[in-house]
Chains A and B, each alone.
Chain A
Amino acid sequence: MDVKFAIDLEHVVRIYRRDEFEVRALDDVTIQVPEGRFVAIMGPSGSGKTTMLNLIAGIDHATSGRVSVGGEEITGMKERDLAAWRARHIGLIFQFYNLIPVLTAFENVELPLLLTPLDKAERREHVETALRIVGLADRMDHYPRQLSGGQEQRVAIARALVTDPTIVVADEPTGDLDAKSAEEILNLLTDLNRQFNRTIVMVTHDPRAERFVDTVYRLDKGILVGIEDGKGGPARAESAQAQA
């Protein structure tokens, strides 16, 4: 049986230039993540986790190598095409939620739908469904300042889901939450992965996250140093390779 890869990184290198210094944030990384997986990228600070996530989300460009997401190669895409691609395929979740403070929960979730041809009634239906999935149907009219951290992150998850993206990308989604809220968010992401077969890639420091994911990719100093099964399920990466 052919395995479809949601994410396919081949010999990806990302070099940042800081003044006269060169920082090799990712060094010849190759991974393949099959569709429908919930995977975590882990490693110490400065290991290149977020850089890898940014490349997958199409908000950063690889210095060399090839990045394919959802079967589409994005390496050479122009910024305008990349923005349209992100709107269609990527749902982003941030550590600090990054909700727009002057918009209600409903309006924050509706934001990505403004880029679609959906009319107002259709947008409302999508937003209500997304907020219901994350358990915040009764908080639609609340502003971010009126919500707890966990609730804000749920709104951010609803915003990431509302366009029915190919891949959900989460950068430290539990990093700013207490233990209870973090557990709830991880459970929610697991449910989304299981119920909707949504591919989720999560960057985290949180060792508890290993319990929820299928696969853990470990990075150190920009190099992929290991691929491990998470405790959430067996690792099924067909061809994951550490280039050390």
Chain B
Amino acid sequence: MKYVALVLKNLTRSRRRTILTIFSIAVSLFIFSALVSLPAVANQVLADSASSERIVCHNKAGLAYAMPEAYKQRIAATPHVVAVTPESWFGGVYHEVSDQFPNLAVDPDTAEAMWPDWGVSKEAWKKFETLRTACLVGPGTMKRFHLHVGQQIILRGTMYPLNLTLDIVGVMRGGSAPPNFLIFRRDYLEEAAGRPGLVDVYWVRVDSSVDVPRVITALDREFANSSAETRSESETAFIGSFMDNFRTFFRLAEILGFIVVLTIGLVAANTAAMSIRERRAEIAVMRSIGFPSGTILGLLLSESLIIGLAGGIIGCGAAFIVLKIFTVGAVALGPLSDIRMPPSILAETLVVAALIGLASAWVPARAAARQNIVDALRMVA
């Protein structure tokens, strides 16, 4: 403890340099923590939202291709299947073209059985089943457009040439519910669109996760050689494949993050080297007084560690706040729209900050702590 005052005093030696170094580290760690949060959030989404008992069945040709709604009965008849919910992508906007969020039509009779983990109240599910224009909305979208339960809204179709009037009957508040989704009844869409009878995705719930591979095989075999062959996969694999679209972006973000950290690490190392070089004579005096090399090294590294951690705390804090503020507007990222900085990234960034501090000063501090006292003192004379 008795050395703390000495370390802090040395940090005030050149206030401007100390502050600039702290802020340069803070900016780099702000960028780093924000960028590496993206893949971490993606992995978290996978871990949190995927149910081990849900299967996604879609057209083998791709998600852009629909399937007949007649498949529902055939899927429901497959052994171990307990619920089937057809889903169609509406792709509507609220007021402006920029007011986009995922909105989907689902069959109301099996929705509750399919997504009991979405945190929708019994009362809201009941209304969803009975009111043809009912819709359920995620909390992110509710907050973004200042909506409330009981409000009537109009979604303007972009893929369908029609507008839908919807009544909000409940909020999907469950931890695994997509925060920005809106679901409404598919029968309402079918009627408004002139009954095209097409489905984008079938959600299938099985009685046990053990049966998932067996059901997947059975479903794809059932529709083999038909006009709309299917490809079924577990929910985890489905979300994972969706995330794969972002993998290159994530990889790039991580590489950029590390480049920024490396660059600022080199800048910090140069600053530390200059700072320590200027004090070589003082360090020699301290050693001649009797300070051991190890203590000198510890003091110099402590200074650099404090600078690194201060930059890390500022950078992390700023990234945490900025991501919290902008999370609502990030709907373009779909399932990733709820970007928050995970605690693991906070911890990782602080470790990186400490490493920047220690690594940047290590070489000059070690050299100064081990320098020949007589040579260093001669520099003063």
Contacts and interface: CB of A to CB of B under 8 A. Distances in A.
- Majority secondary structure of chain A interface residues (helix, strand, loop or mixed): helix
Nearest to A91: B289
A103 B290 contact: no
Interface centre among B290, B294, B373, B374 (most CB of A within 10 A): B290
B12 A92 contact: no
A95 B281 CA distance: 13
Given A54-B374, A60-B373, A95-B381, A111 B10 contact: no
B374 A114 contact: no
21 contacts: A59-B288, A59-B373, A59-B377, A60-B374, A79-B293, A80-B292, A83-B287, A83-B292, A83-B293, A84-B290, A84-B292, A86-B290, A92-B289, A95-B381, A98-B281, A98-B377, A102-B9, A102-B10, A103-B6, A114-B3, A114-B6
B291 interface: yes
Interface string A51-83: 000100101100000000000000000011001
Interface string B268-304: 0000000000000110011111111110000000000
Contacts of A84: 290, 292
Interface of B: 2-3, 5-6, 9-10, 12-13, 281-282, 285-294, 373-374, 377, 380-381
B290 A88 contact: yes
A115 interface: yes
B374 A83 contact: no
Interface of A: 54, 57, 59-60, 79-80, 83-88, 90, 92, 94-96, 98, 100-103, 107, 111-112, 114-115, 120, 159
A120 to B, nearest CB: 8
A92 B6 CA distance: 20
A98 B285 CA distance: 7
A90 B287 CA distance: 12
A102 B290 contact: no
Contacts of A83: 287, 290-293
Nearest to B279: A100
B289 A94 contact: no
Q: When A and B form their complex, which 9 residue pairs have the shortest distance between CB atoms, in order from nearest?
A: A87-B290, A86-B290, A98-B285, A59-B373, A83-B292, A102-B9, A112-B289, A59-B288, A60-B374
A111 B288 contact: no
Contacts of A92: 285, 288-289
A206 B9 CA distance: 36
A102 B377 CA distance: 19
Contact of B9 (A57, A103, A115): A103
A102 B290 CA distance: 19
A100 B373 contact: no
A216 to B, nearest CB: 22
Interface centre among A79, A96, A100 (most CB of B within 10 A): A100
A115 B291 contact: yes
Given A96-B380, A96-B381, A115 B290 contact: yes
A8 B288 CA distance: 20
B377 A100 contact: no
A102 B292 contact: no
Contacts of B290: 83-88, 90, 112, 115
A59 B291 CA distance: 12
Nearest to A84: B290
Contacts of A95: 381
A85 B281 CA distance: 21
A27 to B, nearest CB: 18
B207 to A, nearest CB: 72
Contact of B288 (A57, A79, A120): A57
